[in-house]
Amino acid sequence: MSTRRRFLQTGLAASATLSAAASLSPRLFAAGQDTKKLGYALVGLGRLSTGQLAPALQKTEHAKLAAVVSGTPSKREEWRKKYDLGDHVYSYEEYDQLADDDAVDVIYIVLPNGLHAEYTIRGAETGKHVFCEKPMANTAEECRQMIAACEKAGVKLGIGYRCQFEPHHLRAIEAVRSGEIGELRGLGAGFGFTMPADADPDQKLHWRLDRSLAGGGPLMDVGIYALQFCRYITGREPVAVTAQTTLTDPVKFRQVEETLGWTMTFPSVLGDDLPEPLRAQVTASCVTTYNFSGFNQGEAFGPDGSVLLKPAYSYTGLKGFVKGEPMNLDTPDQFAVEIDAFSQSVKNGTPFKCPGEEGLRDLLAIEAIYKAAETGRRTEVAKV
Ligand code: NAD
């Protein structure tokens, strides 16, 4: 069988699986035994929990908000009343008591990145499943410790990569993998926003500008979406990276990068079994920043056209085009969809699409990107 035919067949099979996963067929559950909604404990009641996750947990078919953990007494009281949480409201000092809370099946970590490892590991030790926001942790080493802790405790670990469940992204993967633009040759992706002026560390050190809590700058926070886009469009891991940073505000950005541009080389999507000179490689060019807003896209290029998502990573209103034709798809509540997907995998004992290893792979690439930016050299990405 020709390499191209084999690619098309595997690509189509892969996209069929993705489409099936994305549709989250309600029949799976109508036919299944367990219709109970899993109870989620949100840990960290900041912007994401308040604005997105709590509302999403009112819409989910297989999950509900069961408990919260917060350091602020007034927030605990507010959430207890608003969501009728009764005694299932905890301070950080009481975190480990989640072990004895039968209403909680899954602990959802929504804390600053630098706290993800500690709270995931302690969460696993309570015997509850753990869902952790992106980026999984500050370092690849922490990711390995989180994976090991969840394995040891026999609980599932999922990472919050909502775009992997979003219809525009799934359609983009399908279009590229099935060869609609011909053999994939290039990728361009970027995501950033302007960090507000009041985040100046001299006035108020926001955790996103604090290296110990954020692990890095915009690459850790939003550049990770561009990295993810390139990884799931190709279905491959980057081999090597180059990177450089620019800086206009050395006071605000004294601990983390302000703007970072990087390139990645991926193996050919056609297969590594081709002789070296014929093995087309895919080049990705990416940008992330805290210095300007509006860069929010992912594009894949082949000889027969391109696939474009723009805006690509927002919560609502995504737009996608295949060879210039609009995708005309709706953007669902991405958080409700991913939480339901994780809940189903917990209930059915089936693999989750974004396990800890997926977060680890991102951190391995991110560490290589930071090293490349620091040394100015092409840097190979370590393997899992
Ligand atoms: P946030 O600053 O709004 O909330 C963080 C919460 O952590 C706050 O309630 C804060 O009080 C609490 N906290 C506990 N200990 C803290 C400490 N030592 N220092 C600072 N805060 C502490 O942040 P957020 O935007 O809700 O982000 C939380 C996590 O969610 C991050 O990991 C972020 O990357 C992730 N996130 C994901 C998405 C997504 O689309 N998946 C979107 C936004 C944020």
| DSSP characters over 180-219 | TTSS--EEEEEEE-PPPGGG-TTT---GGG-HHHHSSSHI
Is residue 84 left, alpha or beta, with left meaning phi > 0 and alpha meaning psi from -120 to 50? left
Establish whether residue 71 lines the binding site of ligand 1, counting it when its CB lies within 6 angstroms of any ligand atom.
yes
120 lines ligand 1 (CB under 6 A): no
* Statement: residue 11 has pLDDT above 50: no
The whole-model pTM stands at: 0.91
Ligand 1 touching residue 208 (CB < 6 A): no
As given in the structure block, the two tokens for residue 224 are 């990770």
- Tell whether the model's pLDDT for residue 229 goes beyond 80: yes
> Mean pLDDT, to the nearest integer, of 231-259?
95
Residue 6, classed as helix, strand or coil, is helix
Identify the pLDDT of residue 368: 98
Q: What percentage of the chain exceeds 90 in pLDDT?
A: 82
What is the reported pLDDT for 35?
73
Q: Residues 208-218: what's their mean pLDDT? A: 96
Tell me the C-alpha distance between 144 and 384, whole Å: 9
Average of per-residue pLDDT across 101-128: 98
CB neighbours of residue 93 within 10 Å? 9
d(CA 322, CA 306): 6
- Residue 16, pLDDT > 80, answer no
DSSP code of residue 299: E
For the question of residue 225 being annotated catalytic, the response is yes
Mean pLDDT score across all residues of the chain: 89
User: Does position 203 have pLDDT exceeding 60, yes or no?
Assistant: no
Tens digits of per-residue pLDDT, 258-279? 999 999 999 876 555 544 444 5
pLDDT at 244 over 90: yes
Alpha carbon of 152 to those of 38, 278, 360: distances in Å? 22, 44, 17
- For residue 241, the SS3 value is strand
238 preceded by cis ω (within 30°)?
no
Candidate of 108, 113, 207 to mutate for ligand 1, largest count of ligand atoms within 8 Å of Cβ? 207
What confidence category does residue 200 fall into, taking pLDDT thresholds of 50, 70 and 90?
Answer: low
CB contact set of 113 (below 8 Å; sequence gap of 6+): 135, 137, 138, 213, 214, 215, 220, 221
pLDDT band at 280 (very low <50, low <70, confident <90, very high): low
Selection from 195-204, 277-286, 313-322 with the highest mean pLDDT = 313-322
Structure-token pair, residue 384: 């899992």
Provide mean pLDDT across the span 129-133. 99
Tokens 């999950």 sit on residue: 63
Residue 120 near residue 109 (C-beta atoms within 8 A): yes
CB of 260 closer than 8 Å to CB of 289? yes
The rounded Å distance from CA 137 to ligand 1 centre is 13
- Atom 41 of ligand 1 has which residue's CA nearest to it? 160
Q: At what angle do helices 3-23 and 167-177 cross, to 10 degrees?
A: 170
The residue among 195, 172, 186 whose CA lies nearest residue 288 is 195
pLDDT score at 269: 63
- Per-residue pLDDT for 228 more than 80? yes
Q: Is the CB of 186 under 6 A from ligand 1?
A: no
Lowest mean pLDDT among 34-43, 99-108, 196-205: 196-205
* DSSP annotation of 223: I
What is the number of the ligand 1 atom nearest to the C-alpha of 72? Answer: 11
Angle (deg, nearest 10), helices 140-153 and 356-375: 170
Measured from the Cα of 313, ligand 1's closest atom is 40
pLDDT of residue 355: 98
Q: In angstroms, what is the span from residue 90 Cα to ligand 1's centroid?
A: 17
Q: Is the pLDDT of residue 105 over 50?
A: yes
Centre of ligand 1 to C-alpha 206, Å, is: 10
pLDDT at residue number 277: 42
Q: Residue with structure tokens 């983009």?
A: 172
Q: 130-151: b or e for each residue (b if 16 or more CB lie within 10 Å)? A: bbbbbbbbbbbebbbbbbebbe
pLDDT at 9: 34
Q: What is the per-residue pLDDT for 201?
A: 55
Among 134, 156, 252, 347, the active-site one is: 134
Look at residue 169 in the predicted model and tell me its pLDDT: 98
Ligand 1 center from residue 79 Cα (angstroms):
17
205 falls in which pLDDT band (50, 70, 90)?
confident
Q: ∠ CA(55), CA(57), CA(59), 5° rounding?
A: 80
- Across 362-380, b (16+ Cβ under 10 Å) vs e yields bbbbbbbbbbbbeeeeebe
Residues in contact with 181: Cβ distance below 8 Å, sequence separation at least 6, in sequence order: 175, 300, 301, 302, 303, 304, 305, 306, 307, 322, 323
Q: What is the pLDDT of residue 264?
A: 97
For residue 133 and ligand 1, the question of a CB distance below 6 A is answered with: yes
Distance 376 CA to ligand 1 centre (A): 31
For residue 355, say if its preceding peptide bond is cis, omega within 30 degrees of 0. Answer: no
